[in-house]
Amino acid sequence: MKRFLGFLSAVALSAAMLATPANAQIAPEYGPLLKKYVSDRGVNYAAWKANATDMAAIKKVVDSVAKTPASAAVSPEQLAFHLNAYNAWILHQKLAAYPNEMNPGMLTFILPYFNRKQITVAGELMSFNHLESDIIRPRFKDPRIHFGLNCASISCPPLFNEPFESKKLNAQLDGLAKRFTNSDRGVRLAADGKSVQLSKIFDWYKDDFAPAGGAVAFINKFRTQKIPATAKVGFQEYYWKLNDAK
């Protein structure tokens, strides 16, 4: 009997360790903040920074991200948590520095910024690059994450104005992929179809799109006007200016 009860306890403990409630990992303040300040034009940093209550609210969100336990499970719950964690922290950090902004077009600024340990996720102090390239990309192996993560630049896919949720995650990521691949920011196809300029994201992360047959094959799964197989592929210049919706 004791052995049986011990077995049940072990099963219950294992289940508890793996279970992660659908949207419990992100503070409830996060959704309303996104709806209030994020649009297709960018983020209204000025209005947000001027509102002490909402500045306290985004601090509460990232404090929650820092303390929430995360598992190593490859699940929609965990992917949603890590995408929300990245975007909430980038908002918090950019708001903290606003309106003072170093020239974000200089690589001497960009690389150290994203490699500096400045955020805490699930109890671990880390960099944005570690969260993206050492956790999210290799663990989940889903190229659509590149349209969900936002680096706060004008060339980045627009910040999604609602939290990622496990039950809606597949549809959310499909929608973001479709939006970006059908926009000039993502794909600029010449009128004659002979050449195309892709976002630099498809060059930097080409290995992530390789399983889908490459960037063009991936894009054509979502794009209304398909890129001809014969089109000469080039890449757009990437602009790191802040995505400020003034």
User: What's the whole-model pTM score?
Assistant: 0.89
User: In 3D, which of 71, 86, 74 has the Cα closest to residue 20?
Assistant: 71
Burial of 78 (0-12, 13-18, 19+ CB in 10 A): buried
pLDDT at 246: 80
pLDDT at 206: 98
pLDDT at 239: 93
Q: Are 89 and 119 in contact (CB under 8 A)?
A: yes
Burial of 142 (0-12, 13-18, 19+ CB in 10 A): middle
Question: Can you list the positions of beta strands (E) in 1-67?
Answer: 38-39, 42-43
User: In 3D, which of 191, 245, 187, 178 has the Cα closest to residue 216?
Assistant: 187
- Give the tens place of pLDDT for each residue, 47-82: 999 999 999 999 999 999 999 988 888 999 999 999
pLDDT at 15: 38
- CA dist., res. 244 & res. 231, Å (int): 34
pLDDT at 7: 38
Q: Are 85 and 120 in contact (CB under 8 A)?
A: no
- Give me the residue spans of the domains in the chain: 22-179
Q: Can you give the pLDDT of all 246 residues of the chain as single tens digits?
A: 444 334 333 433 333 333 344 334 799 999 999 999 999 999 999 999 999 999 999 999 999 999 998 888 899 999 999 999 999 999 999 999 999 865 455 666 788 999 999 999 999 999 999 999 999 999 999 999 999 999 999 999 999 999 999 999 999 999 999 999 999 999 999 999 999 999 999 999 999 999 999 999 999 999 999 999 999 999 999 999 999 998
Q: Are 72 and 124 in contact (CB under 8 A)?
A: no
Burial of 72 (0-12, 13-18, 19+ CB in 10 A): exposed
pLDDT at 108: 67
Radius of gyration of the chain (CA): 20
